Structure 1
Amino acid sequence: MRSFILIAGLLLLFAVEFLRVYFIMPFPGSQHKDTLQFAYWLSNNIRWMRIVLVLVIAMPVITTLSTSIRWKRIVLFIVLIFYGVVFFLFNFRLQADKMFYQPSHKTLATPEENKIALDKLVIGVVINGDARAYPIQLIGYHHQVKDTVGNTPAIITYCTVCRTGRVYSPTVDGRLETFRLVGMDHFNAMFEDATTKSWWQQATGVAVAGPLKGATLKEFPSQQLTLGAWLRLYPSSLIMQPDSLYKKDYDDLADFDKGTVKSSLEKRDSASWQNKSWVIGIQHEGVSKAYDWNALVKEKVLEDSVAGLPVLFVLEKDTATFHAWNRRVDSTVLNFEKNISNETFRDKNTGSVWNMDGTCVDGNLKGKILRPVQAYQEFWHSWKTFHPNTTR
């Protein structure tokens, strides 16, 4: 019986340490099942479970080390050392926030001081007239960057495994909250708030576990495009610069923009509608729809309507910057044709010419401006997971 209690207790000790991390990190098979609630329970109860299990095995361990034959003492000693190593790794090395750190020195530069290449993708955000750009290569490593934009607190988030960029308000129930990267669920990053220890999904801003389950963070409109295209729109924008402490981590994501990064979790499927294929997703009035990135590259201009919203997608000549606009101008829904040049396109209704800022520059509608629609470029597996009723 003593041996049984000792072996069972040790196995359970190893199991709770491993499973607590396994379910919220991208280990083989860990991200495909709906295990989030169990993972949350385990994470919040592991301390007392450790204490109980240690108390259960304490006497068998003491007895074995003091009275058993030499080889059994050696084996038990090795097992205990191994548990110590496992405990250290799973609590101080393999935790998400021990692998991906916040910038130690966050620097935002003017366009004149900027050192980021103009062809790099950024997440751009404007709040109260304050425009800022955050290179995906940088925030892809950090996962979240805290900032104040237009005198408004914001967290700029990115998950490279889902290719999802979102900007949220960190205010929860009227208080400014602090978040840490806690892991992932269904390959999407999760953050834990410091006050209630609830877990928040990066792709949706929804609390998926904990006391605030079901709550949603306010999202600020944002746009993914090249830095050059962003600065054309906002020439006075500030641009986040690299933190020299994380140069190697940034270098590992140097090819992420183009989808040619070496990591199988982050590398693009060039074919359409595969798990890692790029799509553009929009949601309107509770209706979600995804559009094939390859189709946009081929056609340059795509039109559709989603839940009564007439939408237009246009791809710029850099084949990286895309725009999503409402096709309704005043009371008329416009139809558009392919680019008539690298910088302009034309509506069929009036023959007016529009530039890549969504402004009509020639024709009967000159001076009119298309209203932007929030749209995201991300992996197909991410969009369909977090928008299960999406069409395409």
Structure 2
Amino acid sequence: MAPRQRHPSRLKISPARRLAAGGIPILLAAALAFVALGCSDTSSDDNQAASDAGVTTETTNTSEAASADTAPATAASVPSTTAPPTSTRAEVIVDVKVTQILGGPREATVSALREGMTAPLLPDPLVSPLDVLSGGPAPDGIPSIDVPEFERATDVGFLQPQEAVVTLTLNGDARAYPVQVLIWHEIVNDTVGGEPVTITYCPLCNTAIGYYRQLDDRILDFGTSGRLYNSALVMYDRQTESLWAHYTGQAIAGALTGSQLEFIPVATVAFETFLDEHPKGLVLTRPGGFGRQYGTNPYANYDSPDGRPIFPVNVPDPSLPLQTRVLVIRHGGESVAVQHDTLQSEGVLSLDLDGSQVVAFHLPGTATPIQHDQVAFGRDVGATGVFDPSVDGQMLTFTRVPDAASSDGPGGFTDDQTGTTWSILGRALDGPLAGTQLQPIEHIDTFWFAAAANDPDIDLLATP
């Protein structure tokens, strides 16, 4: 029998105080200037589910492609409660045809982006304007991807096996967004499984987050504001030009002040993990026309526990060095953080959050994109996954397979109850429960300063 997993004890963080970043490395400052300058200028089941969600294969003369998806191209089926009647759709064709739900028109609201966070007729902002700083580029200077193009995972030739991709699956539609693309664009407005979503990555705080971009009866889309809060991306929506904090998904200034986006659980894993599980899943391609050096990292040597954030941040008393990698889990109104080193050592941690059991996995084999000057060749920091461990009312306990990273295939975990093999993405690959998918729980791989600055009440978990 596998040893019982230890439940981490909680260490409460002390009250917040001001910490200013200083001593920015010359190379890092130069890299930021370079970014600013550059920015101014699976299986058949996967295929059928994606087809139902508005994704179809473009017709070719190969029998393999013809058999992959046979459904005709149709608009995504979205209930009227999800997409208002005024929403429009567009189709993008590269290797696949993707139906997109577009954002609404610009509304007659005062713009916090262009007229200021305290402009007349706007609600009071949630944060001090003095803490929202210019990052260098103008609004949209780092251009979001608003017409994303995709190819099948099996056809991708520009990614290394260990290279980081941000992935999610909605309504059977599996997508992967290479960090080598996100690092230059930061925001992708997309439609996945018939749902309007936004996928984001902030290299300054090393954080990937997904949101549903529907807010009540609005369909929003987002761009980069050129501003930073707690050394992290500040987005703006193009409908009201309100400002949004990336980490919290909350509008901090503008007509929508106080509004909250709904999060989508996403995971950052190695490309080979996504490829193994979803060979016919869709991978965001390198967009043309932007002149970016995709595959290179303009933040070389930034991912270091000894480093400091580039811009000032508000953080509690630092229980950890500011750029320590942590896993943040947000569930049921409670948020906790655990050091990556702890999770990497344990392999599996069982946690109790807000009265619910969750399980966190760590699997080696994923490169950090912001250490080496080439995105694919950073040190191995591994991947994480967080899930509800119950299946059909049975609570499962898990063990990481010894030498999981060197074994064939993505399976790295087994449950003690049935001996089923599971992947870092929570999918049962082999055994009595094969084909079962664990319910993902919202989690964030990030730096400690981002977690502490944006959530001063967060609990830091440490094993005894």
Partner in structure 2 of residue 43 of structure 1: 116
Out of 116, 138, 141, which is 2:181 matched to?
A: 138
User: Quick one: which amino acid aligns to residue 259 of structure 2?
Assistant: A
How many Å separate the matches in 1 of 2:386 and 2:172? 20
Q: Does structure 2 conserve the Cα–Cα contact (< 8 Å) formed by 1:272 and 1:278?
A: no
Give how far 1:264 is off: 5.5
1:180 and 2:248 are equivalent in the alignment: no
Indicate conservation of the 8 Å contact 2:286/2:294, yes or no.
Answer: no
CA–CA distance in structure 2, aligned partners of residues 273 and 190 of structure 1: 25
Residue 395 of structure 2 is aligned to residue 336 of structure 1: no
Q: Which residue of 2 aligns with 1:314?
A: 361
The range that moved more, 164-173 or 130-139, is 164-173
Normalising by the residue count of structure 2, what TM-score does the alignment of the two structures yield?
0.58
% of aligned pairs identical? 23
Contact residue 301 and residue 337 of structure 1 kept, 8 A: yes
C-alpha contact 1:352 1:366 (8 A) present in aligned 2: no
Correspondent of 1:389 among 457, 460, 464: 457
Aligned length: 308
Q: Retained in 2: the 8 A contact 1:281–1:289?
A: yes
Q: Matches of 1:163 and 1:103 in 2, distance apart?
A: 19
What amino acid is aligned across from residue 421 of structure 2 in structure 1?
W
Seen in structure 2, the aligned counterparts of structure 1 residues 199 and 178 have a Cα distance that, compared at 3 Å, is same
Q: Does 2:320 align with 1:273?
A: yes
Indicate the residue corresponding to 2:248 in structure 1: 204
- The TM-score with structure 1 as length reference comes to 0.67
Aligned counterpart, 2:385: 323
Q: After the TM superposition, which residues 24-39 of structure 1 pair with which residues of structure 2 at under 5 Å, given as runs?
A: none
The CA deviation at 1:371 is 2.8
CA distance in 2, matches of 1:101, 1:153: 19
Matched, 1:223 2:267: yes
Q: 1:354 aligns with which of 421, 425, 429?
A: 421
Q: Distance in 2 between matches of 1:109 and 1:272?
A: 44
Gap runs ≥5 in structure 1: 1-25, 30-38, 48-89
2:106 corresponds to:
none
**1:252 aligns to what SS in structure 2?**
coil
Equivalence for 2:297 = 252
The residue type equivalent to 1:108 in the other structure is F
CA contact (8 A) 2:198 2:210 kept: yes
Q: Please tell me whether the aligned partners of residues 300 and 338 of structure 1 are also in contact (alpha carbons under 8 angstroms).
A: yes
Deviations 1:313-364 (A, max 9, x none): 222241522221222334443333342452443444x36243224427347x
Aligned mate of 1:102, from 124, 134, 144: 144
- When Rg is computed on C-alpha atoms for both structures, the one with the higher figure is 1
State the partner residue of 2:336. 289
For 1:372 and 1:173, the matched residues in 2 are separated by: 24
* Distance in 1 between residues matched to 2:393 and 2:348, nearest whole Å: 22
Q: Distance in 1 between matches of 2:211 and 2:435?
A: 32
Structure number with higher helix proportion? 1
Distance in 1 between residues matched to 2:140 and 2:391, nearest whole Å? 50
SS at match of 1:132: strand
Deviations 1:198-238 (A, max 9, x none): 21111121111122111112333322111111122222111
Cα distance change on mapping 1:185 and 1:235 into 2, 3 Å: same
* Separation (CA, whole Å) in 2 of partners of 1:248 and 1:277: 28
Structure 2 residue matching 1:274: 3-state secondary structure: coil
Instruction: Tell me, yes or no, if the aligned pair for 2:235 and 2:244 is still in contact at 8 Å.
Output: yes
SS of residue matched to 1:101? coil
**CA deviation after TM superposition for structure 1 residue 193, in Å:** 2.2
Q: 1:261 to 1:250 in 2, by over 3 A?
A: farther
Give the match's secondary structure for 2:116.
helix
Q: Does the alignment pair 1:380 with 2:448? A: yes
2:189/2:222 contact within 8 Å kept: no
Aligned residue for 1:187, secondary structure, equals coil
Match of 2:438 in 1: 370
* Counterpart residue identity of residue 102, structure 1: S
| Per-residue Cα deviation, 1:67-122 (whole angstroms, up to 9, x for no partner) | xxxxxxxxxxxxxxxxxxxxxxx99x934435412359843121233122221111
CA contact 1:301–1:339 (8 Å) conserved in 2: no
Distance 1:272 1:358, change over 3 A: farther
Specify the alignment match of 1:345 in structure 2: 413
Using the alignment, how far apart are the partners of 1:243 and 1:27 within structure 2? 34
C-alpha spacing 1:196/1:230, structure 2 compared with 1 (3 Å):
same
